[in-house]
A and B are shown apart, each in its own frame.
Chain A
Amino acid sequence: MRILFLLLISFSTIAQDLYNFENSKKYGDYLLKSGQYELAGKEFERLVYFTPESDTLKTQLLKSYRLSNQTNIGIFRTKQLYPDAQTIPFAPALEYAKLLMQNKDWENARTFWTNNQNFKPDDKTIFNTTSEIFNNDFKAARNSLENIQNKEFYVAEGYKTILEKETHKKSPALAGIMSAVVPGTGKAYSNNWKDGLVSLFFTAGMAFQSYRNFNKHGVNNYRGWLYGGIGFGFYLGNIYGSVKSTKDFNKKKINKLQHEASDIFNSYY
């Protein structure tokens, strides 16, 4: 009886409500910072239900959905929370723009930030350029970046450097021609000189064996034709490999530039 009395006293005086707004917000922030994005999304849904007028909480909710890769839910919830896309405040609008970009919904993304009233013209230009860089359309990105008003804006300067680097690509056609003339040189051109050397040895070895067998046994014997056929296969494979190797080289380079652009974008927005 005494224990029950003590418990009742302690609960009624010093106990706290873990599910009130303040504690829920602290927990939601903790979940978001510790990378538990799915749980954070559920917690922020409760918080947004508590205070539907708070833009900060709505932004955190959208961020949770974006980081937990639930982009479709995030886009759907934005449309519910802000029925008029043109008047969405800056912070949640930025999250919505990122959600659309993550969903690779380039057309809708572009329409959204062009019509939104809370983005500055330079922000819109940077968003256009970013989406075009992510969408591998570097030519359009160059055109978009020319519309920037503040020339000293460091994001624009960073993008300019990235777009300049993009022009230094290697030609797959040249690699193919090089490999057709001297096997292996196309791969060496795309910085894979070790693979090129192996290709040269394979093709040259088979060609030499074929030549030797034709000389020794004549053209009516199968040996020369067999080695020649295998060598021709290596020769064709090497031309195909050189073109693919150069394309991969360019793709990796573009991928690296896209990551650089992503870093610059995230450092500012």
Chain B
Amino acid sequence: MLKPGDVAPPFDLPCAKGDRIDRLALRQITTEMLVLFFYPRDFSFICPTEVVGFHHRIAEFRAENTSLIGVSVDSAESHIRWIRELGGIDYPLLADERGEVARAYGVFDETKKVALRATFVVDRRREIAFAMACPLNIGRSVSETLRIVRAIRTGRLCPAEWQPGAGFGPLESDL
């Protein structure tokens, strides 16, 4: 699995954007930051809590000049049906059918042939700024991802449990 400081592997894959199929490449992302989150499969009972959770907070991510992209091994057609099932998702879902991107990021489960539940925050230099993975049966916290994005964007030393508006630790140059 990639770690902070690693270069984010490029991708160029079909994706579902709302009700249509398109292609999306890393180089096309123009926002300062990117949240790339992998999930195991469409049509599951755990993933929608995350996929919909990110959708409900999309405005807050955009306010942080951050794009969101979901990735699974399902086809773009499946993503479209899944998006309809969920009542609409306002960010693209990448169709990593052969698991190439998941492998490149080191989060492909070769036994189950699905991506792990993993999240990467990619910074403006297109390097990994944050990486985490959790078991397939545990959903992630959208709030925590947003807190991480905000913390990274401050460029400051953020202590444990840091929240926007709270004080910072000493500057890195002071350490």
> Do these two chains interact?
no
A: which residues have CB within 8 A of B? none
Interface residues of B (CB under 8 A from A): none
